[in-house]
Amino acid sequence: MKFQVLSKDGGGNARTGRIETARGTIDTPIFMPVGTAGSVKGISPDELEGLGAQIILGNTYHLCLRPGDERVARLGGLHKFMGWERPILTDSGGFQVFSLARINKIEEEGVRFQSHIDGSHRLLSPETAVGIQRNLGSDIMMSFDECTSYPVTYEYAAESVKRTIRWAKRSKEAAKGSDQALFGIVQGSVFPDLRQMCLEALVQIGFDGYAIGSLSVGESKEQMMEVMNRLAPLLPENAPRYVMGVGTPEDLVEGVRAGVDMFDCVMPTRNARNGSLFTWQGTLNIKNSAYAEDPSPIDPECGCYTCRRFSRAYLRHLYICRELLSYRLNTLHNLYFYLELMGRMREAIAAGNFELWREGFYKRMKSME
């Protein structure tokens, strides 16, 4: 994997860049649709390509439980298995093992947990997490970390950071000999000194990219932004910077402003299935009875398939009837919006007017309130 910064916004930390992998080039800043179990819910790989998705995310925890990473490997790897030829990033499984497992026990070796699917007892360690990702054949792997919830005491967060650093060293050792890139994950909750300590240790170990973990896990929006704004500019200049699991359109704009290159979140697909649709004027709830006879598209400015072909009235009808087409059309729209948002930010940064663009973005978003 190769990465280069292409342009910077003169008024801040926002930047454009390019990640080159064997399976394709990724223009940053970029949003990665989440394909938890080997698919982005509701739409096909061809549709994802049509939307302009350059990279998607697969989930180590879910795929190792079902269908099993060794089975995926026997079938030619995750790209072939799911019919997606462009890059894939796989997470470490750390977040899910702490949030989904019925029971988990943290040991120095790793995390012993009980599957939320069949109750089987498993161990996820730096070695097994990297081994699973190697079996999946992703282009970018994540080192195994401890994802702390919020609130958390300073004392526990400090021990967690030290453990994450030790696990990061083991993750890198387990990745030796692989042509897959490996990213380190900066932990430390909302404590600046712990985040700094973790970052410095990860840089000393040396990774292909660096992520900020354990955000949007219960802390306030102000705390999340404080961590992101403080930490993102400190991440190595010559490597991709990734904020995991974030977030709203506004979060992405502020993350890009802070200097972040990569984002992922289930929000556009999950909200689509709940009837919450993103527009350039704000969020629209298609369940609202006000749209029962509305002939206009979700967003007159949007060029997605859903907005070109269907009215708000029809989309509301589909949602109320729980038609499967509702989830597909809503998902196509929300992902188009997210990817278009990233494209517009890349253009604004390259033109040197990101701050002006950001100001206009917020003015328009408030127009639906």
Domain range annotation of the chain: 2-265, 272-368
Question: How confident is the model at residue 33, as a pLDDT?
Answer: 98
- Print the SS3 string covering 280-324: CCEEEECCCHHHCCCCCCCCCCCCCHHHHHCCHHHHHHHHHCCCH
Sign of CA dihedral 146, 156, 212, 45: positive
Question: How confident is the model at residue 367, as a pLDDT?
Answer: 60
* Residue 162 DSSP class: H
Name residues whose C-beta falls within 8 Å of residue 177's C-beta, 6 or more positions apart in sequence: none
Residues 69, 91, 139, 299: which is the catalytic one? 91
User: Which CATH number is 2-265's, of 1.10.3720.10, 1.10.10.60, 3.20.20.105, 3.40.605.10?
Assistant: 3.20.20.105
Query: What is the residue whose two structure tokens read 């369940």?
Result: 287
Question: How confident is the model at residue 369, as a pLDDT?
Answer: 46
The CA–CA distances, whole Å, from 70 to 73, 115, 198 equal 5, 17, 32
* Bond from prior residue into 45 cis (ω within 30 degrees of 0): no
Name residues whose C-beta falls within 8 Å of residue 244's C-beta, 6 or more positions apart in sequence: 91, 95, 185, 211, 212, 213, 215, 264
Question: How confident is the model at residue 102, as a pLDDT?
Answer: 75
pLDDT tens, residue by residue, 268-317: 999 999 999 999 999 999 999 999 999 999 999 999 999 999 999 999 99
Average pLDDT, the chain: 96
Q: Are 96 and 59 in contact (CB under 8 A)?
A: yes
Residues 145, 251, 261, 264: which is the catalytic one? 264
Phi-psi region of 197 (alpha: psi -120 to 50; beta: other; left: phi over 0): alpha
Q: Are 209 and 242 in contact (CB under 8 A)?
A: yes
Question: How confident is the model at residue 97, as a pLDDT?
Answer: 86
- How confident is residue 101, by pLDDT bands cut at 50, 70 and 90? confident
Query: What is the residue whose two structure tokens read 């509701």?
Result: 42
Question: How confident is the model at residue 116, as a pLDDT?
Answer: 86
Is residue 249 predicted with pLDDT exceeding 70?
Answer: yes
Is residue 350 predicted with pLDDT exceeding 80?
Answer: yes
Catalytic status, residue 264: yes
Q: Where are the alpha helices (DSSP H) in the chain?
A: 45-51, 60-65, 69-74, 78-82, 94-99, 126-136, 154-174, 192-205, 221-231, 249-258, 267-273, 305-309, 312-320, 324-351, 354-365
Distance CA 154, CA 163 (A): 14
Which candidate, 70, 71, 67, places its Cα nearest to that of 38?
A: 67
pLDDT tens, residue by residue, 133-144: 999 999 999 999
- How confident is residue 368, by pLDDT bands cut at 50, 70 and 90? low
Q: Which residue has the higher pLDDT, 103 or 265?
A: 265
Distance CA 76, CA 172 (A): 24
Name residues whose C-beta falls within 8 Å of residue 213's C-beta, 6 or more positions apart in sequence: 94, 95, 145, 147, 185, 186, 187, 244
pLDDT (average), residues 69-79: 98
Distance CA 97, CA 103 (A): 9
For the chain, percent of residues with pLDDT exceeding 90: 93
Q: Which residue has the higher pLDDT, 101 or 321?
A: 321
Which candidate, 41, 145, 56, places its Cα nearest to that of 93?
A: 145
* DSSP-assigned letters across all residues of 204-230: HH--SEEEE-S-SSSS-HHHHHHHHHH
- State both tokens at 256: 């890009």
Q: Are 78 and 88 in contact (CB under 8 A)?
A: yes
